[in-house]
Amino acid sequence: MRDVAVIGSGHNALVAACYLARAGLDVEVIERDTVIGGAVSTVERFPGYAVDRGSSAHIMIRHTGIVEELDLAGHGLTYLDLDPWGYAPFPGSGTAITFHRDLARTCASIEQVAGPKDADAYHRWATDWADRNERVFAAFAGPPTPGRLGRALLGIGRRGVRTSVPGGEIARQFLTSADHLLDEHFDDERLKAALAWMGAQAGPPPHEVATADLVGWVPLLHRTPPARPVGGSGALTAALASRLGKDGGTIRLGDGASRILTHDGQVTGVRTDSGDTVGARTVLAGCHLLTTVALLADALPAGTRQRITRSVRVGNGLGMAVRLGTTALPRYLGDGGNPEAYAGMQLICPDRRTMAAAYGDFLAGRPPARPPALVMTFSAIDPSIAPPGRQNITIWGQWHPYELAGTTWDEAGRRAADALIAAVETAAPGFSSTIEHVHIQTPRDIESELGLLRGNVMHVEMGLDAMFALRPLPELAGYRLPGLNGLYLTGASTHPGGGVSGASGRSAAGVILTDRRHAARVPRTVTGTVSHMFAQVRKARRSP
């Protein structure tokens, strides 16, 4: 019998498995797919191209210390900093804003487009909100217990750029909309559109209440930039798998979980699709929360099942991706082929009205007619992911509904992909003529291939009602499912939510080890890893 059976090989599940195996536990990861990594994986879509299946830019994991704690560099992981991390072209005026890691260089770019007043305002705003979000990310790093959240968030606003900010005003700023926050600080619509579009990648549109910090965290990228693994996004999960193997853990591919087994309120293991049984008194579900509910079958009380399935907001999808093989990079108007454009994420959004129209189409059950686009051209900095003389490009489009009104994704998929390509074409004329290969991932495709129900890459909506100690529901926020001893949860369904961070996996592993210590099932020297791991987080955050 294993100590722990882990369902799914997404990056959070693998992070948890690594910490548990490092602590001396016998761990087996059970994965239905033949490719490890879930939404953090890379495959050959076109001959000679290493194409991501899900995420491409890694942002939050750079703030957690996990890569260093698990020595993933020693297992083949090499990160390339995205600097500049953002490039926003505005073809109507022939201008562009470049968001460098260096705050002063960013402000200089803003001044050329928006003028000195907005450049100065950005410097003050970015410094202030980066300070605030250092504390928010500290809250993300561990379980969302009241004590931990209080320690992490206590004092936000006491280190304002010029003066301290009263608590009531801080609360108002966090609870306002991203649009209103931007309007309070800046005048130029182009700057506001670029920031709003970057913030919108979490899901909610910038006009919604309590979305201010979805933009407010962006200044942290001036302190620790996003990064790109050499070889593709899946290089992270490949390194995690290598680390797991070093510590004795195993991964079962191509034979997924068909049922979580229980007896008298105690988890006893996992039955696989092949009919095999992996016995374990601890099961960690790294899959979608609703998938976990389905795997429990009648072991879950009807009231609990109804509470989860009716109260958790999965939503109507989030977005779609178009993966391209091209003969050239997009040549944006007004930049003269500036190589800085291609290092990071290209924000194709002329104004916030474009975002509002796209979200309106989404609410009506239509793919956006004129979608904003997020473009990633990482073969420009990592030639290993494309053949010589070719480019590997991803276009991400937000707010593409899983359920369509009056049509299906089989009918609408190519039109929606063409609309995203057209969005890039408006900023980089001639881009479409360079395309040789196209792979479309509609919300339905994202669900069927990656197990992300209803195409929501965040699992559960990232609204304020499903964050911190409310995610995915208050009674589930501790990474446990009450009423079933030995069953734990991790992944984007849990705190801190979607995105490549690994924090949920580490936190879930810590909860498991703490519970085992309290049950006196393993020596205290093994479970001491819990306090050690959080000490390492604090040390990593203090490092430059």
Model confidence at 335, pLDDT cuts 50, 70, 90, reads low
Cα(174)–Cα(214) distance, integer angstroms:
9
Q: Of 107, 161, 106, 103, which Cα lies nearest the Cα of 132? A: 161
Higher per-residue confidence, 168 vs 222: 222
2-40+232-312+460-542: CATH, from 3.90.870.20, 3.40.50.300, 3.40.462.20, 3.50.50.60: 3.50.50.60
Lowest mean pLDDT among 72-86, 154-168, 258-272: 154-168
Whether residue 496 is preceded by a cis peptide bond, meaning omega within 30 degrees of 0, is yes
Q: What pLDDT, on a 0 to 100 scale, did the predictor assign at position 334?
A: 72
Instruction: Report the SS3 class of residue 335.
Output: coil
CA dihedral 474, 142, 37, 13 (to 10 degrees): -70
pLDDT band at residue 371 using 50, 70 and 90 as cut-offs: very high
What are the domain boundaries of the chain?
2-40+232-312+460-542, 124-222, 315-454
SS3 category, 251:
strand
Residue range 435-446, pLDDT digits in tens: 999 999 999 999
| C-alpha span between 345 and 322 (Å, rounded) | 15
Closest by CA to 456, choosing from 39, 158, 106, is 39
Rounded to two decimals, the pTM is: 0.93
- How confident is the prediction for the chain on average, in pLDDT? 93
Distance in angstroms (rounded) separating the CA atoms of residues 193 and 34: 40
DSSP 357-412: HHHHHHHTT---SS--EEEE-GGGT-GGGS-TT-EEEEEEEE---SSPSSS-HHHH
User: For the ranges 137-141, 231-235, 277-281, 503-507, which has the lowest average pLDDT?
Assistant: 137-141
- Residue 539's pLDDT band, with cuts at 50, 70 and 90, is low
Closest listed residue to residue 491, CA positions, set 26, 37, 62? 37
82-109 pLDDT, tens digit per residue, is 999 999 999 888 899 999 999 999 999 9
Residue 526 has pLDDT above 80, yes or no: no
Please name every residue paired with 6 in a beta bridge, in sequence order, or none if there are none. 29, 284
Q: Give residues with Cβ within 8 angstroms of 274, minimum separation 6.
A: 255
Q: Is the pLDDT of residue 276 over 90?
A: yes
Q: Using the predicted structure, report yes or no on whether residue 522 has a pLDDT greater than 50.
A: no
